[in-house]
Chain A
Amino acid sequence: MEDLLQVAVPVAARLPVEAIASGYDNQATALVTSDLLVERLETVAGELAALATETVHVPAPTARTSVASLDLPFGAPWEVPASPEPFWLVWGSVPGVHVAFDAPAEGTYVVSATLFGVQRFTVLAPRVTLVVDGTPLPALALTSTPTNPETATWTVRLTAGSHEVGLGLAEAEVTPPDLTAEDVVHEGSWSAFGIRDLGITGPLDPAEGQPSELRARLLACEAPDASLEARRTCATSVLRSLAGRAWRRPVTNPEVERLSRFVDVAEGDGRGWDAGLRDAFSAVLLSPWFLYRVEGMGSGRTSDGLRALTPHELATRLSFLAWGAPPDDALRACADEGTLGTPEGACSLRTQLDRLLDDGRATALAHAFGRQWIGLSSEASTGDEATNALLEGVLLHEDAPLAALLRPTLAGLPDDGRPGGVLALPEVLAATSVGARSSVAKRGVLVAARLVCDPPAAPPADVPALEQTVAANPLAQVEAHLADPVCGSCHAGFDPYGLVLEAYGPDGASRSAWPDGTPLPDAVDLPDGTTVSGVDGLVDALLAGEAFSTCVTEQLATWAWGAPRSATVVRQIAEAARRSGGSSRDLLHALVDHPTFGFVAVDPEPTP
């Protein structure tokens, strides 16, 4: 929804958590549509439709600024009350303190200032003046004291654009009879106001009928006051465009007709054009075409259970691969023209993929795919900067070899002297620990399942006996696991990897011994018989053969297709990527170049 409307939608806390299958949240088999989800979607879609069609800012755009400059024309020292960083406003200083303010729109603004005074001559009745763009407003008499601040407010009308807003002390209306003008300047300098907060808020009253920014963006035309026919024409074109983007395909005439009917009905019963448009938008957003990625709707010939994707389905698959989001205008244009996927030219899959990957939105590939690949949540915002930087640096950088995921220096990225690449990331090490204890099994399973794609069978039952009896250190536990014929048959396939990664503690810190003082083993025998020493040795072993690059290929293909691919397809893509040089970009190219990228498996004969 955010991508369609290009507006941050606070929906996360209002929609249920998605399920995950095959380790990724975009998998077809993970799709469970609960009543709860539909219920929440209906609510959110309705609200978004209302937001998108509203004509008045709700809430009003608000600008607020605080005092930012200090002007002390009379010099120090002043008798300053103990207070947190006030700015000083002194006698005769008009304006004493001023700020630049950028009004987002014409309208009414409220300026407020909290002031506290130091006065020597109360007879001077100091008054505070607001000066807007050089013009003073009527002054306000203040009675504040250092311990009793008061807030002064002014209501001003501002045009859109920048303004200078200042505060100063106005001249006293009554000049004390026993003071000379010179005295006033001198003695008056004992009167001062400290400003704690100068703020400007507004506008409070945006012009009626002003389209919201969102509406202005979504509606290519505005027609409420035009003729009925013009209004209908405008509604039709707006709906055709919005539905086309939301449903990621051209919209048929009957479909547009059906959406336009909402506008006709609303006009007919007196609710008006806007109300009709809002209902139509709701229907667009609640449509299964928006909420699901639909593939295989083309009329392409079915052979071997495969059907060619339509150009728009292909564009969608490509953009979800790179951006985790629907296609942009340029990619949609290729699909509209029917040239997407031609071997050469601007609309070839490679050219378009490169364009998408070089766009800022491609961080989605690094986060949504990359983070989930190494067992983390796809929420980059809550993740470590180091994790995101490494994944972006390798997956999005054109020349970065895949191997740099384990050895960042190969891509010119720093490894800070901590071998292991993704395996040395503190976030990964914490995620593979249980509380304050690193987990050999969890770390081992991560390597086995995600780096060499040899996942262990699901544990038969949660067997607690060892954890309860072996309290000492992980080595003893691993030995006990491996000695037990039931546990050992599986644990032998992943514990060794985890044992090597014990070189990092649960917080990611390097270590050479366990907390109880037992030194880490010097050498570990991996499941394939290789003996390695340290994390660097493990990386050597992982990069020695083709298992790692093939496994990353398998993982990426699962992500790209939304379902696991066959071993044959994975092997073909991995080999093509290696032949081209083995960079992450080579792999992505090989993926979209594979003959099956433009196809979807369908039921040979769908029965109505």
Chain B
Amino acid sequence: MSPPRTWTRRALLGATGALLPLPWMASLVPRSSRAADEPRRRYVFYVAPNGMIPSLWRPAGDGPDWTPSELLEPLAPLKDQLTVLTGLSNVAAVRPEAIMDHGACTGSFLSCTNVSSPRIGAPGVGRSVDQILGDHLGGATPFRTLVLGSEAPVRCNEVICPRLSNVSWADATTPVGKDIHPSSVFERLFGASADPATADLARARRWEDRRSVLDAVLDQTAELRLRLSAEDRRTLDQYQSGLREVERRIDLSRTGTCEDPDGGAPALSNLDTREHVRAMHELMVLALQCDATRVVSYMIGNGQSPRPFDFLGYPDGHHAYTHQGSDVPLRAICRWEVEQAADLLQRLASVATPSGTLLDETYVLFGSEMGHGADHQPTDLPLVLAGGSAWGFVQGRHRVFANGTPLADLHLALLQSAGVEVDTFGDDGAHALLDLT
């Protein structure tokens, strides 16, 4: 392990003048690289909504003998470190057919829970797999989970709407809320403001002071809560739990996690889509590397996304091209998304840890909530499970399962691999799909 390198504000600012191929935070070596620890179990959920093109996705052959398809080709260099999963579906979570739309599919991808399930409202129902993993693994890290995205949430007034923009759920109707600002993620990880004007102010705050302020506000919140209606109480409960989470993080940060970056952040605003995704990749790797969190979920875009792909020469969003006759734009967009997942995997594979690489210690689930976006069917899902070889899981396969095998079974397997003691997940997960331990 290389010794920590000094990281100065000047060096960082100096390195951000152009689009550099190397991560700008490569020199930020985590303070908490406490060697010889038991390898940590980490999980990344990398979601690229709106489906792929099944005919161009499914690889030829199965088992260890398979050939990457056109769309999977960007992942070919990592072929031995991933498994392509074919045949899974999430139908149970989106019935009845009447609401089998984008929101239902995207929103339930990590929860596998039907929004109209009769069990809605029962404790824990609808909590997404990343959040449950965070509950189990995140006690010692400043962030139980890190929920990120590269497209702003859809602003609309339909009930189903939040489900387009969220895969991470506290419960069936409460999205966790994703952070779509790289500068904000930076601040949260390093406790340093990305805005030079406030950088010193933020760092000057002592944890004891923040704790005492939180105590006072929590007291006041509890008093106010008693005077409110049941519905408003729910809102204030969310506020209270948020405050407690901040409190917990402040306590943890006393021992230090990520190296304090000693100054401002690099310019992280006004990024185009490609720069934004790249910045998020760097932040994700850094967060896992310095043990700020062990669970990340990331939406490269939203369900039914209108975000244009100008840089590929296509002025509309992924969604629009799923409903067009020619599949030329869609192929390019899907392929670009797979390339991005490959980029993250490569970054994880390039970080050495005592037991191998960060990728070896991280299960990365990459995939989409539909087979083909045009059908709005959560069947024949395009899924890749990468990494995790530190746990003995043999990668490098194309695994073909019976059509309709629940996606929830895969999430169940991931939960069990982390030691979460559950034997069901979502509406229809009852048999762990793989032995990932």
Could you tell me which A residues sit within 8 Å of B by CB distance?
A: 10, 13-14, 16-23, 25, 31-40, 42-43, 46-47, 50-51, 54, 58-59, 255, 258-259, 262, 265, 275, 278-279, 282-283, 286-289, 291-292, 294, 296-297, 377, 434-436, 458-462, 464, 467-468, 471, 602-603, 606-608
Complex Cα–Cα for A460 and B188 (A)? 40
Q: Which of A35, A51, A265, A377 has the most CB of B within 10 A?
A: A35
Could you tell me which B residues sit within 8 Å of A by CB distance?
A: 97-102, 147, 152-153, 155-160, 162, 174-181, 183-184, 187-188, 193, 195-198, 200-202, 204-205, 209-210, 212-214, 216-217, 219-221, 224, 226-230, 235-236, 238-239, 241-243, 245-246, 249, 269, 304, 306, 315-316, 320, 322-325, 374, 376
Complex Cα–Cα for A42 and B235 (A)? 17
Shortest CB-to-CB span from B184 to chain A, Å, is 5
Nearest chain-A residue to B198 (Cβ)?
Answer: A47
Nearest chain-B residue to A467 (Cβ)?
Answer: B323
Whether A38 touches B213, Cβ cut-off 8 Å, given contacts A22-B157, A434-B320, is no
Shortest CB-to-CB span from A428 to chain B, Å, is 16
Q: Do B179 and A36 touch across chains, with their CB atoms under 8 A apart?
A: yes
Would you mind naming 21 contact pairs between A and B with Cβ atoms under 8 Å apart?
A13-B269, A14-B181, A16-B153, A16-B180, A17-B153, A21-B157, A22-B157, A25-B155, A34-B175, A35-B241, A35-B245, A36-B178, A38-B246, A47-B198, A47-B202, A58-B200, A279-B209, A377-B155, A434-B320, A435-B316, A462-B376
Shortest CB-to-CB span from A218 to chain B, Å, is 16
Complex Cα–Cα for A377 and B178 (A)? 20
Q: Do A35 and B213 touch across chains, with their CB atoms under 8 A apart?
A: no
Complex Cα–Cα for A468 and B152 (A)? 28
The residues of A that contact B306 with a CB separation of less than 8 Å are 434
The residues of B that contact A32 with a CB separation of less than 8 Å are 162, 174-175, 177, 235, 238
Complex Cα–Cα for A445 and B158 (A)? 13
Known pairs A38-B243, A43-B202, A461-B97 / 19 extra A-B pairs, C-beta < 8 Å: A17-B152, A17-B153, A19-B153, A19-B162, A22-B157, A35-B241, A36-B179, A43-B188, A50-B204, A58-B197, A262-B212, A262-B216, A283-B213, A283-B220, A287-B220, A288-B239, A291-B239, A434-B306, A468-B324
Q: Do B187 and A14 touch across chains, with their CB atoms under 8 A apart?
A: yes
Complex Cα–Cα for A436 and B320 (A)? 12
Complex Cα–Cα for A16 and B166 (A)? 13
The residues of A that contact B249 with a CB separation of less than 8 Å are 39
The residues of A that contact B99 with a CB separation of less than 8 Å are 460-461
Q: Do B245 and A38 touch across chains, with their CB atoms under 8 A apart?
A: yes
Whether A279 touches B212, Cβ cut-off 8 Å, given contacts A13-B183, A32-B177, is yes
The residues of B that contact A14 with a CB separation of less than 8 Å are 181, 183-184, 187
Complex Cα–Cα for A10 and B183 (A)? 12
The residues of A that contact B220 with a CB separation of less than 8 Å are 255, 258, 283, 287-289
Q: Do B101 and A286 touch across chains, with their CB atoms under 8 A apart?
A: no
- With beta carbons under 8 angstroms apart, the residue of A35, A435, A468 that contacts B323 is A468
The residues of B that contact A377 with a CB separation of less than 8 Å are 155
Complex Cα–Cα for A282 and B97 (A)? 50
Whether A462 touches B101, Cβ cut-off 8 Å, given contacts A20-B157, A58-B200, is yes
Q: Do B195 and A10 touch across chains, with their CB atoms under 8 A apart?
A: yes
Shortest CB-to-CB span from B96 to chain A, Å, is 10
Whether A38 touches B209, Cβ cut-off 8 Å, given contacts A20-B155, A286-B217, is no
Q: Do B214 and A42 touch across chains, with their CB atoms under 8 A apart?
A: yes
Whether A606 touches B229, Cβ cut-off 8 Å, given contacts A36-B176, A467-B323, is yes
Q: Do B158 and A33 touch across chains, with their CB atoms under 8 A apart?
A: no
Q: Do B238 and A34 touch across chains, with their CB atoms under 8 A apart?
A: yes
Complex Cα–Cα for A282 and B208 (A)? 13
Which 3 residue pairs are nearest across A and B when measured between Cβ atoms?
Answer: A38-B242, A34-B177, A33-B238
Q: Do B239 and A462 touch across chains, with their CB atoms under 8 A apart?
A: no
The residues of A that contact B323 with a CB separation of less than 8 Å are 464, 467-468
The residues of B that contact A467 with a CB separation of less than 8 Å are 323
Whether A17 touches B155, Cβ cut-off 8 Å, given contacts A258-B216, A288-B220, is yes
Shortest CB-to-CB span from B180 to chain A, Å, is 8
The residues of B that contact A275 with a CB separation of less than 8 Å are 209
Q: Do B242 and A39 touch across chains, with their CB atoms under 8 A apart?
A: yes
Shortest CB-to-CB span from B429 to chain A, Å, is 25
Shortest CB-to-CB span from A47 to chain B, Å, is 5
The residues of B that contact A25 with a CB separation of less than 8 Å are 155
Q: Do A287 and B217 touch across chains, with their CB atoms under 8 A apart?
A: yes
Shortest CB-to-CB span from A352 to chain B, Å, is 27
Q: Do B205 and A16 touch across chains, with their CB atoms under 8 A apart?
A: no
Complex Cα–Cα for A292 and B220 (A)? 13
The residues of B that contact A46 with a CB separation of less than 8 Å are 201-202, 205, 210, 213
Nearest chain-A residue to B245 (Cβ)?
Answer: A35
The residues of A that contact B179 with a CB separation of less than 8 Å are 16, 36
The residues of B that contact A282 with a CB separation of less than 8 Å are 209-210, 213
- With beta carbons under 8 angstroms apart, the residue of B196, B198, B324, B325 that contacts A51 is B198
